[in-house]
Structure formats: C-alpha cells, structure tokens
Amino acid sequence: MEGSGDEEPEADGPLQQLLKRQRKEKRELQAKIQGMKNAVPKNDKKRRKQLADEVSKLEAELEQKHKEELKQLKEVSPEQNKEKKAALEKEREERIAEAEIANLTGARHLESQKLASLLAARHLEIKQIPSDGHCMYRAIEDQLKDQQNSWTVATLRNQTAKYMQSHFDDFLPFLTNPSTGDMYSREEFEKYCDDIANTAAWGGQLELRALSHILQTPIEVVQMDSPPIIVGEEYSGKPIILVYMRHAYGLGEHYNSVKLLTDTATENGS
C-alpha cells in the first residue's frame, strides 16, 4: 500500500518527450561536430581555430534553443492545464466503466466479501467513495463531516502539501524517482507536494501520516489480508477508519469510508 496507491504507469508526458528529443538533437550535433573535425587536417592551425569557434557557436545555439523550449513548456496556460485535466479525468471514467463491466466477479468480488465480513464484526460496513483520484481525501472528509469546521477535500489536500513541505526531512527519504531509483531532489519533492494540492494525485501512506499529524487523530486502514494499519498512534481519540481495496476497479488501489452497519431487520420492522 506504500506510495500513491491508485497510480498506473503513464506514457511519456510533454516534458519527457521534449527531453528525449533534446537528447537526440545533442547526439546528432556531436556526430556533426565529429565529422567537421575529421574533415580538417590536424596541421591546419588556422582552420582548426575557426572550427573551434564554429563548434562553440553551434553548441551555444543548441543550448539556448533547448532552454527556450523548456521555458515555453513551463509557461503552459491555466486554460490548457484545465483542458488536459478534464480530458484525463474523462478517459479515466471511461476506463473505470469498462473495468466495472469486466470485473463483476473475481478478485474484486472476493475482496469485497472479505472486507464486509471483517467490518461486520465491528458493526461497520463499507461506504462507497467515488474513484476520481481524490478517494482517500474524500473518505477522510466523509469521516469528519459530523465535526464542527468540517474539512473539505481541497483543504485536506492543501494542508497535507503544506505539512509535508514544512517537514521536508521526514518525508523525502521515502520518495524515489521511478525511472532512476534515486531519492527525490528538492525540486522533485516540491513538484510532488504541488501535485497533492493542485491535482487529483492519489494519496497513500505518506499523505496519511501527514494528515494524522494535521488532524491530531489516529487513522486506521482496514485491508483484506493483513492486520489494520494505524498511523498517528500517538494521538488519542476515535480513529478515522478507511477501507483499503487493492482490486477496487481493476485500475489500481482505492480507499472507501465506513458507516455503521445497517440493521435490515430493524428497518423492516421485524
């Protein structure tokens, strides 16, 4: 369950595509420079000097071009960002709908049954939360709704990002670049926190740890095949209870909330 939970490997984004093209252009320039050097006799000092100046100019021009391209990419308008997010969310909803049809039985069904049994022993049942990238925060929002000054998803996300940024050393060692395996740089960490606050990035154990400190409340995560995980054990009081589902939608992991078990016999007046 560690990490950001519901994420799947994604195709290269605009930045990765740009960097890949720029690396190719650098290799092509080096090959061109090598060809130019091979064409000039070593004992022709005047021509070699001219060649060195020309090489420096070509390298500087390419470097400047790459800097401008990176700058332009970072200056994408908010409107373009909104359109991109809307398209991604629509695509995800379509994939969820397809997975729902294909997964009425199997792993998801078995997991739901086991979790229902575990919760029933505690007079609880699952309360479904939409799978929209905000599920962990929505489940916590649901648990807090009866309290005064209830927290919204946006507030929970913003406070989580701020707490992690102000406790940089507590969280950085647990974040690594999936491509290189190296620990996040400060810039990568800031981007990670920015995504928490401003996108539908899925939450996991690191965010739960931050939230337990923010709310000063223990958070218990019930799961199928392992004992419940509790973060924020140092705090007293009634814990927030989340249900962690590994096979929720066939698209990754998911969090639901809980509610008191409905007594159908009482409801029917029996």
Question: pLDDT for 35-90, tens place per residue?
Answer: 888 887 878 878 888 888 888 899 999 999 988 888 887 766 566 667 777 778 88
Residues 6+ apart with CB under 8 A from 258: 119, 124, 125, 126, 127, 143, 222, 241, 242, 243
C-alpha 55/C-alpha 146 separation (Å) is: 69
Q: Pairing state of beta strands 254-260 and 219-222? A: unpaired
Q: Is the pTM of this model over 0.75?
A: no
What are the residue numbers of the active site? 132, 135, 254
Name, in order, each residue with C-beta under 8 angstroms of 140's C-beta and a sequence gap of 6 or more: 151, 156, 211, 219, 240, 242
Q: What's the Rg (C-alpha) of the chain?
A: 26
In tens, the pLDDT along 143-195 reads 999 776 789 999 999 999 999 999 999 999 999 988 888 999 999 999 999 99
| Adjacent-strand bridge partners of 221 | 229, 242
| Token pair for 149 | 């000054």
Q: Give me the mean pLDDT over the 134-147 stretch.
A: 92
Q: What pLDDT shows up at residue 224?
A: 84
> Which of 159, 166, 133 has the alpha carbon at shortest distance from 144?
159
Give percent above pLDDT 70 in the chain.
83
Cα 228 to Cα 4, 28, 143, 188: the distances in Å are: 18, 55, 17, 31
